[in-house]
Structure 1
Amino acid sequence: MFFHEPELQYEVTVEEPDPQFAKELQQAIGGVEGEMRVALQYLFQAWATPKEHEEYRKLLMETGTEELGHIEILATAVTKNLRNATDEEREDAAQDDMMRMMMSGQSPRQILSAGESAMPVDSNGLPFNGNYVVASGNLAADMYANVMAESTGRLLATRLWERTDDPGMKDMLEYLIARDTMHQNQWLAALETLDDPVPVPASFPQEKENQEFNYAFMSTHREEREDPDMPWTQGESVDGHGEFSFVQQNSDGKGTAPSPDSSVYSDPNRE
């Protein structure tokens, strides 16, 4: 169950409306690094969390709901960048040069389909894709995915911050960047509370793995090369269950495909 209040989670002000920046902000709404992705990701993860892990379900639900508020913030910012023009700016918009700028710099669909407002799309106008959402049903795997999602989201927000000179937009992005910092840290903290997070799934019996390769870094160079003496080629593995090693890719397997059934007519010489 969700409840909605008319107030924004964080104030959004735009001093100089910028249709081009409105288009760029769409990436933070419906792009692969955007808020729609993390909101749905955390909510679907929460809905899959069993009763015995209620504390993680609450963590995910709280954060997923917060991210819904971030979508609202960004949608408001997009709309204000599209609509809040002064009379002088509206007069300029009637000029051919301005219209050309609007159609090349701004997504035409923000006008034609949405009446100068935000849409569930990325900065190229592509619809949000549910395949961006990672909800595996495994807490450890999901927490690692969440760290990545917040990392790329924060990276996007910092790039958007560099792309605007509007004080209000910088202020809004500084808030979102700060929340990305917190969320990265909270997912890492959650991982630390798990008894045995790697390898995922940790419950699979490792004695059933190929013991020759389960902690071997594999070089794919054609010419044999020496162990580079890196933390991932020697010493104890991160999970504490093995020793890293350095091996050369072998060529034991055969890549030749067997002949297809004659009924699929793949053989050009078949009469």
Structure 2
Amino acid sequence: MFHHSDELQYDVTVEEPDPEFAKLLQQAIGGAEGEMRVALQYMFQAFAVPADKGEYRTMLMETAAEELGHIEMLATAVSKNLQGAPEADRERAREDPVIAAMMDSGQPRQALSAGLHAMPVDSNGVPFDGNCVVASGNLAADMQANVMAESTGRLLASRLWEMTDDPGMKDMLSYLIARDTMHQNQWRVVLEEAFEDHMPIPGSFPQEEENQEFNYAFMSTHRDDREDPEMPWTQGESPDGKGEFSFTDQPGGGTADLEAVIEEMHNEVN
């Protein structure tokens, strides 16, 4: 169940509307690093949490709802940036300066399809794709994906912060960057406290059933033989404490040739 308030999660102000920056902000809404991705990711992860792990479901749903609030903030920022045009555009535009600025530096569809408002697309106008949502049903794996999602989200917000001089936009992005900091640490705590003994993921697979010769070997794919570079990933104890890193070449074996084709597929080969 969700409840909505008319109040934004954090104040959004724009002092000098910038249609081009509105286009860039769309990446933070509907891009692979954006808020639609993490809101749905945390929500669908929560749906898979069993009843006896309710504290994780609550945490995931709380954070998913927070991310929905971030979408609302960013959509408001996009609209406010599209509601006026920079002074330079006003001076040179013979017709509606907002539309002129949109056609010159923004996304035409934001005017043509959305009436100068945000859309569920990325900065190139590509519709949001749920295929970027990671919800595997394995909490340990999902936490790893969440750290990555918040890391790339914080990177995007930091880049956007550098691309604007508007004080209001910098303030909003500073808030979003701070929340990404919290969420990165939040997921890492879960990984380190609850899933320390679940490495490698999934921890339920009997590790003795995997090939013991190659499960901790860094594999060189160079054509010529190479000596062990003696790096942390080629020697010493593995982070999961269950093996010792080593250095090896590809084992090789067999060929990629097919012995036969399926007749019903009609794949004639001359």
Note whether the superposition's TM-score is higher than 0.5. yes
Task: Output the CA distance in 2 between the equivalents of 1:32 and 1:227.
Answer: 37
Q: C-alpha separation between the residues in 1 aligned to 2:29 and 2:108?
A: 17
Q: Alpha carbons of 1:95 and 1:166: their partners in 2 closer, same or farther (altered >3 Å)?
A: same
Task: Give the structure-2-normalised TM-score.
Answer: 0.94
Which residue of 1 is the match for residue 125 of structure 2? 125
Q: Deviations over 1:27-84 (max 9, x none)?
A: 0000000000000000110111001111111110111000000000000000000014
**Is 1:266–2:267 an aligned residue pair?**
yes
Partners of 1:220 and 1:248 within 8 A in 2: yes
Q: Distance in 2 between matches of 1:155 and 1:91?
A: 35
| Cα displacement (A) at 1:139 | 0.5
Question: Is the Cα contact below 8 Å between 2:218 and 2:247 reproduced in 1?
Answer: yes
The yes-or-no answer on 1:25 pairing with 2:25 is yes
Aligned pairs, number: 269
**Superposed displacement of residue 267, structure 1:** 3.4
Structure 1: any 5+ residue segments left out of the alignment? none
**Structure 1 position 35 matched with structure 2 position 35:** yes
Shift >3 Å, 4+ stretches: 84-101, 261-269
**CA, structure 1 residues 99+251, in 2 after alignment: closer, same or farther (shift >3 Å)?**
same
Q: Return the offset for 1:87.
A: 9.6
Asked if the contact 1:235–1:244 (Cα under 8 Å) also holds between the matched residues in 2, the reply is yes
The equivalent residue for 2:102 is 102
Q: CA RMSD in A?
A: 2.0
Whether contact under 8 Å (2:84, 2:98) holds in the other structure is no
* Cα separation, partners in 2 of 1:87 and 1:105, compared to 1, 3 Å: closer
For the Cα contact (< 8 Å) 1:110–1:116, is it kept in 2? yes
Aligned counterpart, 1:170: 170
1:198 is aligned to 199
Distance 1:94 1:190 in 2: 57
Work out the percentage of aligned pairs sharing the same amino acid: 69
The match for 2:220 is 219
SS at 1:119 equivalent: coil
TM-score (norm 1): 0.94
- CA gap of 1:268–1:40, structure 2 versus 1, over 3 A, is closer
Mapped contact 2:85–2:98 kept (Cα < 8 A): no
